[in-house]
Amino acid sequence: MNDVSRAHGAKDADAAEKQGIFARLVTFFQQVIAEFRKVQRPTRSELWSMFLTVIAFLLIVMAFVLVLDIAFSKSVFWIFG
């Protein structure tokens, strides 16, 4: 970090320390609201498509775990009788 950026960072830190707690809270919530306004919400069709994708993936994983469970239980029963 060079001297210029250190000096600039020190000014920002001093400015933040000069603000009171309530001013910093107000600034924080203003920034949160500004970020929420940037959020893009999916359309109904995009949401439905994502929902179906998640359900399909879960079904595939459930089938895989079922096969592993059956295989392990059969092998344990075969080994230990």
Please answer whether residues 19 and 27 qualify as being in contact, where contact means their C-beta atoms are separated by less than 8 angstroms: yes
**CA–CA separation, 65 and 46 (whole Å):** 29
Q: State the pLDDT at residue 14.
A: 62
Residue 14 CA neighbour count, 13 Å, CB half: 6
Given a cut of 90, whether residue 31 has pLDDT beyond it is yes
**Which range (15-24, 25-34, 60-69) has the least confidence?**
15-24
Tokens at residue 70, please?
């059956």
Query: What is the average per-residue pLDDT within 18-23?
Result: 88
Q: State the pLDDT at residue 19.
A: 83
**CA–CA separation, 9 and 2 (whole Å):** 11
Q: State the pLDDT at residue 12.
A: 60
Given a cut of 70, whether residue 16 has pLDDT beyond it is no
Q: State the pLDDT at residue 32.
A: 96
Tokens at residue 20, please?
């009171």
